[in-house]
Copies of this chain bind each other. A is one copy, B any other.
């Protein structure tokens, strides 16, 4: 098991993690911070951090996530949405490693405002409680501070048997690629906030993603890799391709990957599926891989709980990301937020311009 805690042997060939700004930032930090000698995951290797517990065959899984830009950009405008998402974002990281939650901590920065603030806090807490109840877990404690804007940070702790841990690394060429459910609702929620879509097209309450904790239990011992789509499908596939040094080939038609509500929305807006799969605000599904011979067992287990895993495609030797016949420059897509200088309108323009279905086929 401990081989996984060593640094990944990045070969000079292939797609480098460092092509993506987010990975560069993490590498900058990890060059300075010394690693816990017992930590069971290397940098980039899992959605949650994994530590052995003395005298136990369970690993402690811990993760932290901040919801800030999503609030500032108006993707989450009601306190109920903000609370729900603060909980879901960190629980989803636990799901991605196969862990069952023990509970969460919440650190909230709350805008000033006297009595209004009290009502805001009560609605925020109601959103938090709703997401916790839905996931069967609890808030253990937290910290509140005052500030100019609302920022929510959640920390989730959980347990996973050592034999059941799921990491981002571990898949090979020739495996199946699945998602836990249909995609695109995160992009739709972002579009609602940015473009001010009317209620008839998309309501804020249409976006209430659930951390895939129950499904993840069934993936223990089956998934060879997994990662949540908190940053959208393209970012997730791109990172898994880089980490595992495989190509991710999405062979199912893109329309079929979309949540039906999202497919209806994109048709009314006259858009292709691409921006809904590529935008950097995801739907908190899990993308996972498994060996073809395990597919029957997956579908059997899934049927027992009424879950329909969504086949995306397969892995192949090499690297990179194929959507149908189109080669996708994952690093470019993932760096668009920087390229646009934080201007969301410019981001949308660049994202739509990067849609390969608008261009002659380059690869494949």
Contact = CB atoms under 8 A, between A and B. Distances in A.
22 contacts: A25-B121, A28-B118, A32-B122, A32-B126, A33-B128, A33-B139, A34-B132, A36-B103, A39-B138, A48-B141, A49-B105, A55-B56, A62-B141, A64-B105, A64-B142, A68-B145, A69-B145, A107-B107, A143-B153, A146-B342, A148-B149, A153-B153
A146 B22 CA distance: 11
Given A33-B129, A140-B39, A144-B25, A66 B107 contact: yes
Given A28-B118, A32-B122, A60 B102 contact: yes
B64 A54 contact: no
Given A36-B138, A102-B51, A140-B36, A125 B29 contact: yes
A51 B103 contact: yes
Interface of A: 25-26, 28-29, 32-37, 39, 48-49, 51, 53-56, 58, 60, 62-66, 68-69, 72, 102-103, 105-107, 109, 112, 118, 121-122, 125-126, 128-129, 132-133, 137-149, 151, 153, 155, 157, 159, 342
Nearest to A144: B25
Contacts of A129: 32-34
B62 A153 contact: no
B64 A107 contact: yes
Nearest to A39: B140
B66 A143 contact: yes
Contacts of A39: 103, 138, 140
B34 A121 contact: no
Contacts of A157: 60, 62, 157
B49 A121 contact: no
A323 to B, nearest CB: 28
B68 A138 contact: no
A68 B140 CA distance: 22
A147 B142 contact: no
Contact of A143 (B64, B105, B139): B64
Contacts of A151: 109, 147, 151
Contacts of A146: 68-69, 342
A298 to B, nearest CB: 27
Given A133-B34, A141-B64, A155 B125 contact: no
A161 B51 CA distance: 18
A11 to B, nearest CB: 25
Contact of A125 (B32, B58, B126): B32
A125 B33 contact: yes
A250 B118 CA distance: 35
Contacts of A145: 66, 68-69
